[in-house]
């Protein structure tokens, strides 16, 4: 019975992993904004807009208990299912409960590790040389659609770096992915407001 559970988990997790590889960053980014509580405020949690020191890069509770992250569950299911299928199917462990415990542990570690890695890759730590003044009027490329009442994400090339920000707009017409906009306002938390050029 546990083997069936492992196979189902492997099928679901494996399908989601393959889908994320095939669809590329679009599905991945959508999952982050919609389901990951730690959207990182674009780069707001780590980008210094007001001249304060950026946060350190140590693990936080969100990395160890990322239960609201779609990415975590994708990797958890895939590696939980794979580990359980191999151990149970090949009778490598004496008891099914030990197999279950090992599969859960491996799935959790892999899911949490990949969640933490992707969070680090998704945002760049920027030093205090980037200020609100630098961002105002800067050109931004839309990564996730932005509309009135719909928060998205933009990428800005500034001070020799590429930085991503959570973005909002007051324009009546939505911004589609890959459109170019200008930043006209920066919030204290690092969120930016964009408008058409």
Q: DSSP string spanning 78-142?
A: HHHHHHHHHHHHTT-SSSHHHHHHHHHHHHHHHHHHHHHHHHHHHS--B-TT--HHHHTT-EEEE
- The dihedrals phi and psi of 18, each to the nearest 5 degrees, come to -65, -40
Mean pLDDT split into 10-residue runs, the chain, 197 residues: 89 89 56 41 42 44 67 91 91 90 93 84 56 86 93 88 90 92 89 91
Closest CA to 88 of 78, 79, 98: 98
pLDDT value of residue 108: 93
The pTM (predicted TM-score) of the whole model is 0.48
Residue 29 confidence (pLDDT): 44
Note the pLDDT of residue 123: 56
What is the pLDDT, as a whole number, of residue 122? 64
What pLDDT does residue 133 have? 81
Query: Do residues 76 and 6 make contact, with C-beta atoms less than 8 angstroms apart?
Result: no
Provide CB contacts within 8 A for 117, sequence distance 6+. none
The confidence score (pLDDT) of residue 129 equals 62
């Amino acid at each position: 019975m546990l083997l069936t559970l492992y196979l189902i988990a492997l099928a679901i997790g494996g399908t989601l992993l393959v889908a994320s590889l095939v669809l590329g960053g679009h599905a991945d980014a959508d999952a982050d904004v919609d389901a990951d509580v730690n959207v990182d405020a674009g780069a707001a949690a780590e980008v210094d807009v007001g001249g304060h020191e950026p946060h350190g890069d140590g693990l936080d509770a969100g990395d160890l208990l990322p239960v609201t992250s779609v990415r975590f569950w994708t990797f958890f299911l895939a590696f939980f299912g794979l580990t359980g299928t191999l151990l149970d199917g090949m009778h490598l462990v004496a008891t099914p409960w030990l197999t279950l415990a090992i599969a859960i542990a491996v799935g959790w570690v892999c899911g949490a590790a990949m969640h933490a890695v992707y969070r680090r890759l998704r945002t760049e730590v920027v030093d205090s040389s980037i200020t609100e003044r630098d961002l105002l009027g800067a050109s931004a490329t839309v990564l996730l659609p932005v509309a009135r009442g719909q928060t998205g994400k933009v990428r800005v090339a500034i001070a020799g770096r590429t930085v991503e920000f959570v973005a909002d707009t007051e324009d009546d017409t939505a911004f589609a992915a890959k459109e170019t906009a200008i930043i006209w306002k920066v919030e204290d938390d690092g969120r930016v407001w964009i408008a058409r050029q």
